[in-house]
């Protein structure tokens, strides 16, 4: 097979201009000399307010966001990143952080285009050492502020996080980011409201992102006919997990909120595969892994004071997530949506199939079918998707989904409910026929459920004031 043309990849990305306006941050990159702008509009932050009077802090934040934004360019694997125009505003450990995390975050892109020997771009800070601005942290909040800001779309994980906080008696604010890469922001807002109107948060904030990079990338993919050489869906996005997390910090500073919360589960820790030639891991969800979260948590501890980020669901796998979600609210799951192709559900991608199986296993199958609009267990066109999800292709699909063992358990539960379809028949023929002795099937699936239902109490970065009530009231553990 021919490889993607070398001309598709980018020689240099220059951080050309960063600026804050009253309620916006604008970042301009030059991609091989061509301007490309990402704009973040805050609905609840005023950068002209007294709390942001220190111009040095504002520029350090905007520059840091610009550096984080480099992670978005994974698809074009830039050879060099020029940060020399703003080097004095960059935290001494930020480049080390980027070099470390990009190896994991960009592994899927490197694998797809056959460049596993690439690790990260060269970060250029200028020919001369110059004088660095050593006045850190950027911003700080007083210690002891036990307030949380939950980043929420309208998927199962963020919905569960809301329910967990409510069950634990912890008040929370909600923030939603509306990104035009995922379609019309007004439509996204409308879909999100179907979920949020059922929750008991105190305040809600919004950030709207307009990004010129993704339309530019679509044209470049077509120009170099990338799909001719990449057999699977070519991944566009990469850096949103870290980039959007940093983007939320001005809201925390404005509202005196010490901790931002996400819903990244333990299932994300496992890579999709290991490359045979290099032995390197290839992972779609590396940024959501424990390793990725630890890197970001440590960096925030250096760049800020009294401000950080954790995941509420990091101690549990997806099996426990589905089970807990339906235990806490038997109706809310059907209002959620998690598809990254078309909202609410495209009903053809790995994410749609995965959530459909988990919902059917732990919820009411007929309600799941109504929510999705069709029965994905009886759709022949997506049998190849089910094969990947069930582990029959020897790697985890390239989406934010759980492990093959988890999907096998969902199918086992679905079959036990008497649910049929061509996908269930395939599960019987290709999975259940592996067991020949009496009792093997029950033992195998009981083992999966036991293993994936555990609560890993040390596998997270939550402070005790947050984790203790969740552990006791949600998971009923001493």
Q: What's residue 1's pLDDT?
A: 41
Q: How many CB atoms neighbour CB 136 within 10 A?
A: 16
pLDDT tens for residues 295-322? 999 999 999 999 999 999 999 999 999 9
Question: pLDDT tens digit string along 201-246?
Answer: 999 999 999 999 999 999 999 999 888 888 667 888 877 889 999 9
For the residues 118-144, what does the mean pLDDT come to?
83
| pLDDT for the residue numbered 34 | 97
Q: What's residue 232's pLDDT?
A: 61
Indicate the DSSP class of residue 396.
Answer: -
CB 265 within 8 A of CB 318: yes
Give every CB contact of residue 190 below 8 A, 6+ residues apart in sequence.
none
Sheet order of strands, 204-211 included: 122-124, 80-82, 12-20, 24-31, 34-42, 204-211, 173-179, 148-151, 259-262, 308-311
Q: How confident is the model at residue 478 (pLDDT cuts 50, 70, 90)?
A: low
- Which residue reads 């038997």 in tokens? 330
Q: Which pLDDT value is given to residue 191?
A: 75
pLDDT (average), residues 46-62: 95
Q: What is the distance between the alpha carbons of residues 267 and 288, in angstroms, rounded to a whole number?
A: 9
pLDDT score at 283: 93
* Cβ(425)–Cβ(256) below 8 Å: no
Instruction: Take residue 116 and report the two structure tokens written for it.
Output: 């596993």
Average pLDDT (37-60) is 95
- The mean of the pLDDT values for the chain is 92
Query: Does the pLDDT of residue 45 top 70, yes or no?
Result: yes
Buried b / exposed e along 418-447 (16+ C-beta atoms within 10 A): ebebebbebbeeebbeeeeeeeeeeebbee
Which sequence spans correspond to the domains of the chain?
6-149+180-311, 317-454
Which range of 222-236, 426-440, 459-473 scores highest in mean pLDDT? It is: 459-473
Name the band, by pLDDT with cuts 50, 70 and 90, for residue 278: confident
* Interval 406-413 mean pLDDT: 98
State mean pLDDT over 59-88.
96
For residue 277, pLDDT over 50 is answered with: yes
Q: Is the pLDDT of residue 9 over 80?
A: yes
Cβ(314)–Cβ(290) under 8 Å?
A: yes
Quick check: 357 and 407 in contact, CB under 8 A?
Answer: yes
C-beta atoms surrounding 327 within 10 Å? 13
Residues 6+ apart with CB under 8 A from 81: 12, 13, 14, 15, 70, 121, 122, 123, 124
Phi, psi of 477 (to 5 degrees): -115, 140
Indicate if the pLDDT at residue 131 is higher than 60: no
pLDDT average, residue stretch 441-470: 96
The average pLDDT across 320-341 equals 93
Mean pLDDT of 364-369: 97
Q: Which residue has the higher pLDDT, 462 or 231?
A: 462
Q: What is the mean pLDDT of residues 320-327?
A: 97
Q: CA 199 to CA 191: how far, in whole Å?
A: 14
Q: 159-186 pLDDT, tens per residue?
A: 999 999 999 999 999 998 888 877 787 7
């Amino acid at each position: 097979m021919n490889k993607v043309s070398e001309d598709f990849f980018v020689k240099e990305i220059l951080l050309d201009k960063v600026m804050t306006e009253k309620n916006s941050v604008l970042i301009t990159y030059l991609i091989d000399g061509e301007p490309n702008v990402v704009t973040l509009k805050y609905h609840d932050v005023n950068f002209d307010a007294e709390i942001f009077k220190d111009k040095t802090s504002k520029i350090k934040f905007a520059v840091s966001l610009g550096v984080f934004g480099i992670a978005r360019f994974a698809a074009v694997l830039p050879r060099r990143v020029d940060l020399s125009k703003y080097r004095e505003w960059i935290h001494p450990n930020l480049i080390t952080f980027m070099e470390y995390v990009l190896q994991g975050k960009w592994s899927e892109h490197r694998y797809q285009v056959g460049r596993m020997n690439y690790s990260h771009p060269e970060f250029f800070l200028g020919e001369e050492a110059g004088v660095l601005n050593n006045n850190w942290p950027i911003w700080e909040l007083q210690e002891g502020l036990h307030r949380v800001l939950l980043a929420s779309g309208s998927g199962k994980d963020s919905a569960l996080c809301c329910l967990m906080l409510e069950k634990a008696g912890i008040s929370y604010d909600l923030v939603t980011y509306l990104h035009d890469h995922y379609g019309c922001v007004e439509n996204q807002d409308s879909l999100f409201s179907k979920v949020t109107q059922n929750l008991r948060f105190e305040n809600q904030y919004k950030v709207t992102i307009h990004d010129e990079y993704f339309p530019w990338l679509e044209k470049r993919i077509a120009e170099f006919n990338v799909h001719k050489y990449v057999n699977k869906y070519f991944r566009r996005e990469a850096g949103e997990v870290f980039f959007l997390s940093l983007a939320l910090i001005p809201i925390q500073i404005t509202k005196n909120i010490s901790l931002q919360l996400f819903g990244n589960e333990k299932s994300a820790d496992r890579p999709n595969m290991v490359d045979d030639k290099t032995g390197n891991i290839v992972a779609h969800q590396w940024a959501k892994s424990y390793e990725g979260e630890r890197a970001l948590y440590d960096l925030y501890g250096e760049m800020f004071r009294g401000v950080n980020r954790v995941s509420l669901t990091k101690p549990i796998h997806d099996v426990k997530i589905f089970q807990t979600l339906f235990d806490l609210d038997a109706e809310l799951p059907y209002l959620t949506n998690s598809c990254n192709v078309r909202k609410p559900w495209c009903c053809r991608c790995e994410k749609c199939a995965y959530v459909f199986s988990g919902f059917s296993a732990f919820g009411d199958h007929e309600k799941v079918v109504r929510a999705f609009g069709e029965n994905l267990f009886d759709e022949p066109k997506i049998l190849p998707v089910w094969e990947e999800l069930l582990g029959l292709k020897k790697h985890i699909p390239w989406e934010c989904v759980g492990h093959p063992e988890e999907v096998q358990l969902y199918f086992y539960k679905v079959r036990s409910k008497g649910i049929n379809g061509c996908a269930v028949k395939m599960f019987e023929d290709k999975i259940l026929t592996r067991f020949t002795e009496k009792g093997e099937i029950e033992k195998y699936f009981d083992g999966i459920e036991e293993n994936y239902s555990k609560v890993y109490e040390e596998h997270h970065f939550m402070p005790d004031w947050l984790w203790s009530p969740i552990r006791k009231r949600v998971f009923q553990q001493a």
